[in-house]
Structure 1
Amino acid sequence: MWKAEQIMAPEVDERSQYYEHQQSTEEADVPAQNSSRTNVYECTTLLCVCNFIGTVKHSNCRTPDGQILQPALRKEYRQLSATERNRFHNALSKLKSTGEYKLCGGAHSGPAFLPWHREYIKRFELALRKIDFTVSLPYWDSTLEGQLQDGKDSCLFEAELMGRFKRATNYSDQVYWTSLEYSNGNVLLWLGGETFQPSVSANDPLFFMHHAFLDKLWEDWRQKHQTMADRTTAYPRDSINCSSEEHFANSPMRPFNQLRNIDGISDFYTKNLYRYQERATCPSGKDEQCGSSFLFCDRSHREPHCAAKVRYGGNCIGFENNENPCISGRCVDGICT
């Protein structure tokens, strides 16, 4: 596993630089705020990002090879092409070697949980794009492991992708929380290793991919249930009975002290900097609809849906509708051989 060495949070004053998102045109906040950013991690627009990785020409950002810089497109990790996956892995490796990160435990047990992590993974993605502008932070849809007899048998945990488990945890793979934050924690505890400890869980790239998935779920909910105005203003009422003051709307988003917690619900993230590709589906029951050789269409459990393929030697019991859940070979007597 790689380790991050220095969090990208410069010492600046705590006045909010937020209200940019209230303007209607894309990247309307460029002249007022982004021109004074001291590093790429503070940026809220692509034109700001361009100051650090490209050249602005005719209101467009031109990358070193002459392309127009586009918002990052966050895909499910297994839906990356081989080239995209290799470039993501290479950027991770280079980020480790440059020492750009210092670990940070994160905001938990309160309403700042989602907006804080949105800002945190935005900075991580910009660190990757500074190394390779074609790279986006993929998300890990952990529900794709949901119908496997043992999630650790997923081909996700093979050398070609995220690597094998060194040892198994005995943590439950089921969770009964209705709170997104506590459901999130169960996934990291199940993974084990450094993700088991909140203070160092960001050592593992799966931490960021997992939080990108939570961010996608949150954004999907926001788009479905909130108006544009609500998405930028509807922050839970401050209440010491529900959370510490550090989670209050106007409290500094530590260690990003130039932001307040409420700034994390701005539309500028998904309006200016990144988009999400939809989750894998197979409504017609065909494997190819899942868009990845690492996924198959599970037709044995409820409606057809995409699922992670099982590694060689893994448990493939439960798929009885002419599926082949194995990444290689066939399922014979409940084992991928």
Structure 2
Amino acid sequence: MRKNQATLTDAEKQNFVEAVLALKRRGRYDRFVRTHQEFVMSDTDDGPRVAHRGPSFLPWHRRFLLDFEEELRGIDDTVELPYWDWTMDQDPEAAPWTGDFLGGTGRAADGQVTTGPFARGGGRWRISVRVDSRDFLRRSLGAGGGVRLPTRAELDSVLALSTYDQSPWHSRAEGFRNQLEGWRGVNLHNRVHQWVDGHMATGASPNDPVFWLHHCFVDKLWADWQRLHPDSGYLPRRPTRDVVSLEEPMRPWGDVTPADMLDHTRFYAYDTDAETGAGGGPGA
């Protein structure tokens, strides 16, 4: 059961944090950062695109989150990924940005996060997969006031789109996937990365543990959309140049296709399953 982070108990938050820190100590966390960074760099509108800018953005990240969750559960089998509903919890002084969970925004001078379990000061969270010479986690929540988080109305407008994706299948395409990813329309996923700023605004965004909560919510929104549009499915269904069609394997796994990732209930449930919520549409 994947829960809204706002409903986690103190023990659940602590267990999640400790599992993430243990994964970092064991050297396995940074493998996820490297993988994500490599795909951000290689995915382009004019060439092969697997994890970003194309139809497989959602199934790729669903598998990526599952792999990470399985690693966490190998450390503590009570831990599941929580999601951050950024249409509701928008206060940079409140959850998930509290000292007992993800810590707060970075300091003005350099964006360094100095509070919470992922601050450099405790020596438990040093950045190894770097985008520059700095080895500390960086954030600037609200990006200096220049970016705002998406609203529930904006989210609803994207969930209402009935077509998953369209030719030319990249960042200038129409459809649900591209508006959720944020290259067109109201811009949901990309805008949240920009709002958090710091490492979240780079290809090495998993350096910030909020990456997992953000993408868990994006994954939930895909599941919500599937419930709202049962007659609309993943596109393209047939092999198409430079993108991953329904039955084609996704790198780096080699044996995982988008079709394998369509039914999230094979792996987990969300805490709003079978409910109908205002704004968010039906639960996954």
Task: Give 1:190 shift.
Answer: 0.9
Q: Structure 2: state its 5+ residue gaps.
A: 40-50, 112-139, 159-178, 183-187, 279-284
Deviations 1:60-108 (A, max 9, x none): xxxxxxxxxxxxx110112111111111111111111111241222511
AA of the residue aligned to 1:165: T
Structural mapping, 1:188-337, within 5 Å: 188-197=193-202, 199-226=203-230, 234-237=233-236, 245-265=242-262, 267=263, 269-271=264-266, 273-278=267-272
**Contact 2:14 / 2:101 at 8 angstroms: preserved in 1?**
no
AA of the residue aligned to 1:257: G
Deviations 1:286-335 (A, max 9, x none): xxxxxxxxxxxxxxxxx9xxxxxxxxxxxxxxxxxxxxxxxxxxxxxxxx
Tell me the distance in 1 between the aligned counterparts of 2:249 and 2:261. 11
| Structure 1 runs, 4 residues or longer, greater than 4 Å off | 174-178
Could you say which residue in structure 2 is the equivalent of 1:181? Answer: 181
**Contact 1:188 / 1:195 at 8 angstroms: preserved in 2?**
yes
Sequence identity of aligned pairs in percent?
A: 33
Residue 104 of structure 2, aligned match among 159, 164, 181 = 164
Tell me the distance in 1 between the aligned counterparts of 2:84 and 2:59. 19
**TM-score (ref. length: structure 1):** 0.53
Q: Structure 1: state its 5+ residue gaps.
A: 1-72, 284-302, 304-337
More divergent stretch after superposition (91-100 vs 154-163): 154-163
Could you say which residue in structure 1 is the equivalent of 2:84? Answer: 140
Task: Give 1:238 shift.
Answer: 5.7
Return closer, same or farther for 1:202/1:144 CA change in 2, 3 Å cut-off: same
For the pair shown, the structure with the greater C-alpha radius of gyration is 1
Tell me the distance in 1 between the aligned counterparts of 2:255 and 2:238. 23
Return closer, same or farther for 1:215/1:174 CA change in 2, 3 Å cut-off: closer
**TM-score (ref. length: structure 2):** 0.62
**Contact 1:110 / 1:244 at 8 angstroms: preserved in 2?**
no
Could you say which residue in structure 2 is the equivalent of 1:68? Answer: none
**Contact 2:93 / 2:104 at 8 angstroms: preserved in 1?**
no
Tell me the distance in 1 between the aligned counterparts of 2:28 and 2:205. 16
Structural mapping, 1:6-21, within 5 Å: none
Structural mapping, 1:23-172, within 5 Å: 73-101=1-29, 102=31, 103=33, 104-105=35-36, 106=39, 107-146=51-90, 151-166=91-106, 167=111, 168=140, 169-170=143-144, 171-172=146-147
SS in structure 1 opposite 2:272? coil
**Contact 1:245 / 1:251 at 8 angstroms: preserved in 2?**
no
AA of the residue aligned to 2:55: P
Could you say which residue in structure 1 is the equivalent of 2:122? Answer: none
AA of the residue aligned to 2:235: P
Task: Give 1:137 shift.
Answer: 0.6
AA of the residue aligned to 2:81: L
Return closer, same or farther for 1:143/1:262 CA change in 2, 3 Å cut-off: same
Deviations 1:233-265 (A, max 9, x none): x3212689xx86233334331111111233222
Could you say which residue in structure 2 is the equivalent of 1:48? Answer: none
RMSD: 2.9
Tell me the distance in 2 between the aligned counterparts of 1:239 and 1:110. 14
Task: Give 1:155 shift.
Answer: 4.2
Tell me the distance in 2 between the aligned counterparts of 1:201 and 1:226. 32
